[in-house]
Structure 1
Amino acid sequence: MKNVSYLFLLLALIAELFGTVGGFGSSVFFVPIANFYFDFESVLGLTAIYHLSSNLSKIVLFKKGLDKKLLVNIGIPSVIFVVLGGLVTKFFNNSYLELILGVFLFVFALLFLIKKEIVINPNRRNAIIGGSFSGFSAGLLGTGGAIRGLTMAAFNLEKNVFIATSAFIDFLIDFSRTFVYYYNGFIHKHDLIYVPFLLVIGIIGTAIGKRVLNFIPQNKFKQISLGLILIIGIITLTNAFIK
């Protein structure tokens, strides 16, 4: 127990809380945070396992909101491309992947904070494209919820429907990439001490997030989430350059 960082676990809980309420999923916050404590391969392995618990919790708490049509249009290409992204990850230098992640978070957040009028047309084609990009990003960088969130936002879903559908898709992604990361050797025995803690945190963070969601307008909180993603992107870029 002495080797466990409790500050990291606290930050993981906060990431889950923001991920639930903001609608992007916790990985967009969890991955950059975990990068300060683990090598990038370990981050990918822990994120996949942690997210399984996190998304199961969301499925249970928000299950009545599932949009089956979006689940198919976004979920299927997401699963296909998360496997592809996970397989090619081992061919990239970890420091380059961290740099790509930082640039992605920074550009994504800044763009949508400045250009609030940007919208994605709610059609099947864009759902498939968004699912493909979010899946590939999740496999390669550990997080694709931001891209999926933007795609789903185009359909003007009620927030419970949004979170439930996103969680179902995320669960399929995490289930698939866990096997790929294991095959790549990204799930390390010395990191497994954190798994029980992260599984509990996923449940607790989701439950708290559901309660908070009742008091905060989704559109306002998303601006807060984007601001936090921007800050995390800057920190991740700084950390990548220092290394």
Structure 2
Amino acid sequence: MNLKESFLLLALVAEIIGTIGGFGSSVFFVPIGNFYFDFYTVLGLTAVFHLSSNLSKIFLFKKGLNKFLLLYIGAPSVVFVILGGYLSKIVKSDYLEVILGVFLIALALLFLIKKNLVIKAEKKESIIGGSLSGLTAGLLGTGGAIRGLTMAAFNLEKSVFIATSAFIDFMIDFSRTIVYYQNGYIGSEEIKYVPFLFVIGLVGTFIGKKILNYIPQSKFKRISLVLILVIGVFTLLNYYVLQ
């Protein structure tokens, strides 16, 4: 299996797990991509991959969108992802990789240990969560974990959770794709992967949706957090092994 084939296979795995976890594939795709490309190329690939991925989720989980969350999480997410996208050009990629790994581990451990820790289902918390989600998405390539944890406070049905999260993610990805293109992160090398990633987004989401039918709602959040913790550890190991 050559480099391109192994990358696309892992991208499919990331999409399936991301759909099951409910936080989107970027939380897994970004660290995986770092094994194959430089950090800025991964940011560009993640943005274009997510556009097709989230369109698939919106279509397959079309049981309804939560308008409150679209406004109070989605709107600030878009504003801050643009800010984060421009900041990513200023901060060195080495620092961004370390920050990403520590961020994922700390976030997962916090909510795995503090099982009763709950974010209030109110406007203020939604705006803060949306802002942080957008900022980390633009800066690190992934912000779905923060958005997912914020949305979890509203105890949404799985299909509504994923559809609403995907719609917000789509707005974020559309915005940051423009910024990343201006930053020079998306070039001819990245474009050639787009058709394959589009198909992977559709297939991975479909498979993830089928598997999700067998996962109880009570285990939904814990599985996501464990997956995020594991990928955070691998991100740091990847960085320090390659140094």
Same fold (TM over 0.5): yes
Following superposition, the deviation at residue 25 of structure 1 comes to 0.6
Instruction: State the alpha-carbon separation in 1 of the partners of residues 7 and 226 from structure 2.
Output: 21
Moved more, 74-83 or 64-73: 64-73
Contact 1:181–1:187 under 8 Å retained in 2: yes
Q: Give 3-state SS (helix, strand or coil) of 1:63's partner.
A: coil
RMSD: 1.3
Aligned pair count reads 242
Following superposition, the deviation at residue 4 of structure 1 comes to 5.1
Identity of aligned pairs, percent?
A: 69
Superimposed CA distance per residue, residues 91-146 of structure 1 (whole angstroms, 9 cap, x where no aligned partner): 01101000000000111111111111111000011111100000000000000000
Q: TM-score, normalised by structure 1?
A: 0.96
Cross-structure match for 1:111: 110
Cross-structure match for 1:181: 180
Contact 2:69–2:126 under 8 Å retained in 1: yes
Cross-structure match for 2:17: 18
Cross-structure match for 2:162: 163
Superimposed CA distance per residue, residues 191-237 of structure 1 (whole angstroms, 9 cap, x where no aligned partner): 32221111100001111111111111133243233222212111111
Change (3 A) 1:218 1:18: farther
Q: Give 3-state SS (helix, strand or coil) of 1:64's partner.
A: coil
Q: TM-score, normalised by structure 2?
A: 0.96
Contact 2:44–2:190 under 8 Å retained in 1: no
Instruction: State the alpha-carbon separation in 1 of the partners of residues 225 and 150 from structure 2.
Output: 15
Following superposition, the deviation at residue 3 of structure 1 comes to 6.7
Instruction: State the alpha-carbon separation in 2 of the partners of residues 229 and 74 from structure 1.
Output: 21
Contact 1:4–1:194 under 8 Å retained in 2: no
Would you say 1:231 and 2:206 are equivalent positions?
no
Cross-structure match for 1:210: 209
Q: Which runs of 5+ in 2 are unaligned?
A: none
Instruction: State the alpha-carbon separation in 2 of the partners of residues 210 and 120 from structure 1.
Output: 26
Instruction: State the alpha-carbon separation in 1 of the partners of residues 217 and 73 from structure 2.
Output: 22
Where do 4+ consecutive residues of structure 1 move more than 4 Å? none
Instruction: State the alpha-carbon separation in 2 of the partners of residues 130 and 222 from structure 1.
Output: 17
Moved more, 53-62 or 230-239: 230-239
Q: Give 3-state SS (helix, strand or coil) of 1:223's partner.
A: helix
Instruction: State the alpha-carbon separation in 1 of the partners of residues 237 and 208 from structure 2.
Output: 29
Instruction: State the alpha-carbon separation in 2 of the partners of residues 3 and 232 from structure 1.
Output: 23
Contact 1:21–1:218 under 8 Å retained in 2: no
Question: Which residue identity lines up with residue 91 of structure 1 in the other structure?
Answer: I
Instruction: State the alpha-carbon separation in 1 of the partners of residues 159 and 224 from structure 2.
Output: 17
Q: Which runs of 5+ in 1 are unaligned?
A: none
Q: Give 3-state SS (helix, strand or coil) of 1:5's partner.
A: helix
Instruction: State the alpha-carbon separation in 2 of the partners of residues 89 and 198 from structure 1.
Output: 23
